[in-house]
Amino acid sequence: MRYFPTFMQLRERRVLVAGGGETALRKGRLLAKAGADLVFVAPAMDADLIAAFPSAAFIKRGFEPDDLSGARLVFAANDDEELDRSIVEAARAAGVPANAVDQPDLCDFITPSIVDRGDVVVAISTAGSAPVLGRSLRARIEALLPQRMSDLAALARAFRPAVAARIAGGPARRRFWERVFSGPVAERALAGDAPGAREAMVRALNAPQTEDEAGVVHIVGAGPGDPELLTLKALRILQEADVVLHDNLVDDAILELVRRDADRIYVGKKKSDHSLPQSEIGELMIRLAQEGKRVVRLKGGDPFVFGRGGEELEALRAAGVDAFVVPGVTAALGCAAETGAPLTHRDHAQSVTFVTGHAAGGGSPDIDWAALASPAMTLVFYMSVSTADDIARNLIAHGRAGSTPVAIVENGSRANQKIVKGALRDLPGLVKAGEVKGPAIVLVGDVAQFADGRGLLDLVDQSTERPAAIFERAYA
């Protein structure tokens, strides 16, 4: 490596910044976060610079070597190579490490790209050869490192004396901290539950140190299919999991993001085909957590929108298992975005309702159809391919116009996505002509007219069946 990485204590230490413009402002902001005692020197100072650092000292003249007296570091930030070189030479003569901003050949040290999480700081350096690459790497790490990591570090700092007094050093203390940073204490801290994290920390500290590590379950929404629609929190948890229980709506590309050595258990459900009954899924999650594992229950879409996440959370909490929910982009939102059809619109829809397309036994649900007949409402039917006939008939019978636009989105956001659109009266024909098998959602309402997709007549032209066979279930 060309540079030795180190972190320097600058709190209440004098740091000289030679410059009075935008470059000096950027460096000053970074140094202020570290608590440095800032001194700026330049013949002219931007008003923004002075306003940004009310407690700093400003010397409005050219740099002089005596300005280096007592300085821990100096930054030459004039965007003038000759001037900055002279400042660096004076600093070296005075024994003060110097940095000429964006001029690595003049630097005794360089400032890396930084990911700042309070006490947790990640620094990325490319030795000054590719600053843009450094910023790109920083963006990736920013996405993976939880925002509340500083809270977890602060909690650990607060308990360090107690841990040192309670647990002997060496492997025992190391194992304790490993359990803290991978178990319920960390999960509560990262979820923003500071009181719960402290309580969990006290319990962990007071428990016999031979006690098995407690497990945890995360019920995670995988979104509609596109891996890039995963939340950052979902991605982090997938990469920390010991075991992942996933259903058939989770795309293989998302499973590729799971930690390589994690166990993967398929517990998917299709109509009349459940690989594992719901009660057994709950029992499996509880048993795995009680074994001390970090368990992820990975569901397509959002676990709290027709995903039975509520039932699973209830079962876990009843068993005394720490459980957390990570929301996902639900199918309605993801598919609407893919089609270009807004779910609400000032001119066309003032409300949106999510509706399940089938009941617990697999048939049509018992719905207040009259309440769904408003023309100013967007309806989103989940799991509705097999009940499209009943949906169209009931909506029209209760006052929804047969000409109401509809759009069917199959495999939304995935590579094999299919979108067909038409009128409510032709919904069964759209399903048939479009060869829609599912998983799919059905959008009903004026906003569906904005959806990208093929219409029924286009589908009929491509069909080998008689048009009448496709239209035979249409309604007036």
**Segments in 145-219 forming alpha helices (H):** 149-166, 171-182, 184-190, 194-206
Exactly one of 233, 269, 389, 418 is catalytic; name it. 269
Q: For this structure, is 269 an active site residue?
A: yes
- Structure tokens given for 127: 């030795």
Strands (E), 93-147: 98-100, 113-117, 120-124
Q: Is there a contact between 259 and 239 (Cβ–Cβ < 8 Å)?
A: yes
Separation of alpha carbons 50 and 45, rounded Å: 7
Ramachandran region, residue 38 (left: φ > 0; alpha: ψ -120 to 50; beta: rest): beta
Which residue's entry shows tokens 């959002």?
A: 302
Ramachandran region, residue 70 (left: φ > 0; alpha: ψ -120 to 50; beta: rest): left
Start-to-end C-alpha separation, the chain: 76
* Angle, CA of 116, 122 and 128, to the nearest 5°: 110
Which residue's entry shows tokens 């999650």?
A: 285
Residue 111 CB-density burial (10 A; 0-12 exposed, 13-18 middle, 19+ buried): middle
Q: For this structure, is 247 an active site residue?
A: yes
Exactly one of 151, 247, 302, 390 is catalytic; name it. 247
Sign of the dihedral defined by the CA atoms of residues 260, 115, 200, 180, in that order: positive
Render 38-86 in DSSP notation, one character per residue.
EEEE-SS--HHHHHH-TTSEEE-S---GGGGTT-SEEEE-SS-HHHHHH
Q: What phi, psi does 206 have (nearest 5°)?
A: -85, -15
Separation of alpha carbons 328 and 321, rounded Å: 22
Helix (H) or strand (E) holding 139, with range, is helix 131-144
Kindly report the length of the chain.
476
Distance of CA 265 to the CA centre of its chain: 23
Residue 449 CB-density burial (10 A; 0-12 exposed, 13-18 middle, 19+ buried): middle
The catalytic site residues sit at 247, 269
